[in-house]
Copies of this chain bind each other. A is one copy, B any other.
Amino acid sequence: LAEISKMAADDYVGFTFFVGSMAMMAASAFFFLSMNDFDRKWKTSILVSGLITFIAAVHYFYMRGYWESFGESPTFFRYVDWVLTVPLMCVEFFLILRAAGAKRSLMWRLIILSVIMLVTGYLGEAVFRDQAWLWGLISGIAYFIIVYDIWLGKAKQLATSAGGNVLKAHKTLCWFVLVGWAIYPLGYMAGTPGWYDGLFDGLSMDVIYNIGDAINKIGFGLVVYNLAVSSSGSKK
């Protein structure tokens, strides 16, 4: 366990790091302990949900320690986390649509786009902060292509042809990507200098990112879990 230090009562960033780390841990326990109730098809998807929250739990422990020790944004660990978990979310889209005939090329396309989105975001946030707006823009374009692909492109067609619970779950996940993921660019603008200075004054980048992560990682996993419940029927 981490060392214990005093936390200021109004350290809201620290508060959300702590809540986040435990929520991710509890969510991982939930996914790992319940995945065996389902047939293999759904089991794999729930296992991946659990990996996403588990990876996040470990990074949240680092990040909260970093925050306690240095009082600075743990940007480095943040992106280490995202670069693993966001591609895994793309894998989830693929796993859900696999029965409807999704090809791996769809998965790789989403993975590559998400890596471009994150690498350019990291460059803007941590390396070339003076051009943060430019890197954010490139990152945002990759983000919009992902949104397009799943809302209107190939993934959408496959979901429609699958119909039923799969279509419903796909739609919910699409909303997560459109609305839930849009939380992150807000955090980015709150935390980097640019023409948008002043728009997000008083909002903390880390609080925004932490809220986004809780919604997206755990929420995403629960959608997949519900899909498994509603369409597999328990093995037992």
The number of chain A residues touching the other chain, given as a range, is: 35 or more
* B33 and A32 contacting across the interface, CB-CB below 8 Å: yes
Q: Which residue on chain B has the smallest CB distance to residue A36?
A: B36
Within 8 A of B (CB), among A6-60: 6-7, 9-11, 14-15, 18-19, 22-23, 25-26, 29-30, 32-35, 37, 39-40, 43-44, 47-48, 50-51, 54-55, 58-59
- Interface of A, secondary structure class, is helix
**Among listed A62-70, A136-144, A190-198, A204-212, interface-contacting one:** A62-70
Interface flag for A165 (CB, 8 Å): no
Docked complex Cα distance between A83 and B29 (Å) = 18
Kindly supply a per-residue 1/0 record for chain A positions 140-174, scoring 1 wherever the CB is within 8 Å of any chain B CB and 0 otherwise.
00000000000000000000000000000000000
Docked complex Cα distance between A43 and B76 (Å) = 37
Instruction: From the candidates B47, B80, B234, B236, name the one contacting A22 in the complex (CB within 8 A).
Output: B80
Instruction: From the candidates B30, B48, B58, B126, name the one contacting A51 in the complex (CB within 8 A).
Output: B30
Interface flag for A112 (CB, 8 Å): no
Q: What's the nearest-Cβ distance from chain B to residue A234, in Å? A: 4
User: A55 contacts which chain B residues (CB < 8 A)?
Assistant: 22, 25-26
Interface flag for A231 (CB, 8 Å): no
Interface flag for A199 (CB, 8 Å): no
